[in-house]
Amino acid sequence: MHFPQAADFIDIHVHNGIPSQGVFILESLMAHEEKTPFDTPGVAYTYGIHPWFLNENNYKQLIFSVKNFISHPEVIAIGEAGFDRLRGPSMELQRRVFEEQVALSEEAQKPLVIHCVRAWDELLSVQKRLKPKMLWLVHGFRGNVELATQLLSKGIYLSFWFDFALRPESRNLLRHLPKERIFLETDGAEVDIRTIYCKVAKDLGISPEELIGIIAKNFIEFFKM
């Protein structure tokens, strides 16, 4: 299993990522794909069922795939799992498969990475009912201060959507949140994670090096390493 070095920029959510010197990536593998985790320096993986690629015909096979890879040493989290009101199957099926992945996260004692679009009520309802012990991370967050505060109050970590983090209007949100609960990501876009770190560090009034240290500590806490 690979871990970020102290001076590494951490890209917490990547698709088809290419590792580079000084950057540690957490690549999101989806169960409907043929790509599987392998031992690569500077890379660790999440593995899960994305709601976009889920249907009544394939969900059992997808769950079987997650079970197959859940104990892989390079897989350090389950996901991205979640809800999407704009794309995907019925909310009933999304909820059923999300809850299966929550159970697998608890069984494997690995945290859960979440995709959520306009379905925060479903997400928080499941969390309240299942009371998971493993930590959750919402990736691609681009909401407001009120939503962020609500999620943080439930113990959920946030990773900011790359485009939102680079916008001037994200500054106000970032300054209102506890630094010990945030991550940054590229989500596979053609943007350098170092550029995002520099912009966010400026918004927070700290140096990029200080932000590297903060997010490195967050990584250790979230993944219990």
Q: What is the pLDDT of residues 62-90, one digit of tens each?
A: 999 999 999 999 999 999 999 999 999 99
Q: Is the pTM of this model over 0.85?
A: yes
| pLDDT at residue 1 in the model | 63
Q: Is the alpha carbon torsion for 164, 168, 174, 179 positive or negative?
A: positive
Beta-carbon-side half-sphere exposure of residue 64 (alpha carbons within 13 Å): 4
In sequence order, the 6+-apart residues with CB closer than 8 A to the CB of 222 are 111, 135, 137, 157, 183
In sequence order, the 6+-apart residues with CB closer than 8 A to the CB of 175 are 203, 204
Is residue 40 very low, low, confident or very high in pLDDT (cuts 50, 70, 90)? confident
Instruction: Report pLDDT digits (tens) over 121-157.
Output: 999 999 999 999 999 999 999 999 999 999 999 999 9
Q: DSSP letters along the chain, please?
A: -----TT-EEEEEESS---BTTEEEEEEEETTSS------TTEEEEEE--GGG--TTTHHHHHHHHHHHTT-TTEEEEEEEEEESSSSS-HHHHHHHHHHHHHHHHHHT--EEEEEES-HHHHHHHHHHH--SS-EEEEEE---HHHHHHHHHTT-EEEE-HHHHHSTTHHHHHHHS-GGGEEE--TT-SS-HHHHHHHHHHHHTS-HHHHHHHHHHHHHHHHT-
The Cα–Cα gap between 20 and 22 comes to 6
Instruction: Report pLDDT digits (tens) over 202-221.
Output: 999 999 999 999 999 999 99
Instruction: Write out the CATH class of domain 9-223.
Output: alpha beta
Q: Tell me the average pLDDT of the chain.
A: 95
pLDDT over threshold 70, residue 52: yes
CA distance between the termini of the chain: 11
Residue type, 32: H
Rounded percentage of the chain residues whose pLDDT exceeds 70 = 99
Residue ranges of domains in the chain: 9-223
Rounded percentage of the chain residues whose pLDDT exceeds 90 = 89
Q: Is the alpha carbon torsion for 211, 79, 15, 158 positive or negative?
A: negative
Instruction: Report pLDDT digits (tens) over 183-196.
Output: 999 998 999 999 99
